[in-house]
Structure 1
Amino acid sequence: MAASPRPPGGGGPGGEGLGRSCGGFTAKIHPSADGRCRPLSLVVTPGQRADCTQFKPVLEKICVPRVGLGRPGKKPDGLAADKACSNRPCREYLRRRGIRHAIPEKTDSQAPRLRKGSRGGRPPGFDEEHYKKRNTVERAINKLKHARAVATRYDKRGCVFLGTVTAAALVIWLRT
């Protein structure tokens, strides 16, 4: 039997985007959404892939629509993410691109910083009011799952499933 040219369970080109997670053999959707719960970018990966590893690819795929004429913007005004994205590479990436963010600091990274005293540096800035808007991504995922094909994931290929999720996102954009 010949070896398959596809990566095993891979989320890469030609892969199925399926992998083992706590829920079984699944895929994971990594979206970004605007303030009206409309998906701006989508990345599909195997189920065991962590959210923080897909942080940069999701942000690089964002196209913020403009009100008037002109190309869509590539940089959102602000970002609210959960503690999974609270690490140095993610924060440096946001700082380099000039994106304001509200990401809470992990408690397991707070203790070593406090233990170092003044050498530990100051805590990262955190805006609670801006962080309250983080649930828009969760609501966008729920809107995507209104499409039965997205919720049940009958598509075997990752590229076909990404097309299904994109079609569901287009329906959300057309309804608002």
Structure 2
Amino acid sequence: MVGRRDLGPSAGPRSAALRRCRRRRLDDRVHRLDHRAGPSACGRGPKKGQSWPGEAVGRSRGGPTTKIHLACDGQGRPLAFTLTVGNINDCTQFEAVMARLRIQRCGPGRLRTRPALVVADKGYSSTKIRAYLRGRGIKAAIPERIDQINGRIRRGESRCRLNRAAYRRRNLAERCFNQLKHHKALATRYDKHARHYQAMVTLACLKLWLP
């Protein structure tokens, strides 16, 4: 409150402002007259345990988290990805990643948006995802979870057939992630804004396409 600079013109003369402060101290009432000295509410950042969903930053027991949902081709090269907070289920972003797929044809023509086969782990085994793939005429090599298998047994239904030869190639996605995490800025996120981190992931994906 030096020279009444932080109180604003509405506080009046300095002597009057000091008298009001003394009265309020005596009344045990705390009023923050120097409200301009601190940062604004939008500049203070989130409270402890709070997340930034708009910037793809979530909160977990280990701290801030971000998750990359990615699809790759049969050679382990990334095709499409999305960013979300870390504490979110993988299957929630399946359709969003599929909508971004653009696959080069063997000959001339527009890029394909529908792959011939999708290979994924048990985390993507859901009725909604299987119905989505059937509706688009896409074959799936996704193993069922144990609770789904037990449910089929109780209902007297047969298990979904799994193309085990195709499913063995799922490690291509794991190897793709492994190569991306060779970049320190991807393995540990330092960017505050999602658009900056997304640009870094895009550059790393483009690097994997280089011969």
TM-score normalized by the length of structure 1: 0.87
CA distance in 1, matches of 2:60, 2:208: 28
Is 1:34 aligned to 2:87, yes or no?
A: no
Task: Tell me by how many angstroms 1:3 deviates.
Answer: 5.8
Q: How does 1:5-154 map to 2 (within 5 A)?
A: 9-10=52-53, 15-21=54-60, 23-117=62-156, 121-154=157-190
Aligned CA distance change for structure 1 residues 77 and 3 (closer, same or farther; 3 Å): same
User: What's the RMSD between the two structures over aligned residues?
Assistant: 1.8
CA distance in 1, matches of 2:111, 2:62: 37
TM-score normalized by the length of structure 2: 0.74
Percent pairwise identity: 43
Aligned CA distance change for structure 1 residues 156 and 45 (closer, same or farther; 3 Å): same
Letter of the 2:126 counterpart: N
For 2:191, which of 155, 164, 171 is the aligned residue? 155
How many pairs does the alignment contain? 166
Q: After TM superposition, where is structure 1 displaced by more than 6 Å over at least 4 residues in a row?
A: none
Look at both structures and tell me which one has the larger radius of gyration over its CA atoms. 2
Q: Deviations over 1:36-70 (max 9, x none)?
A: 11000011111001101011101111111123322
Letter of the 1:155 counterpart: D
Letter of the 1:94 counterpart: L
| Other structure's SS at 2:200 match | helix
CA distance in 2, matches of 1:18, 1:99: 32
Unaligned runs of 5+ in 1: none
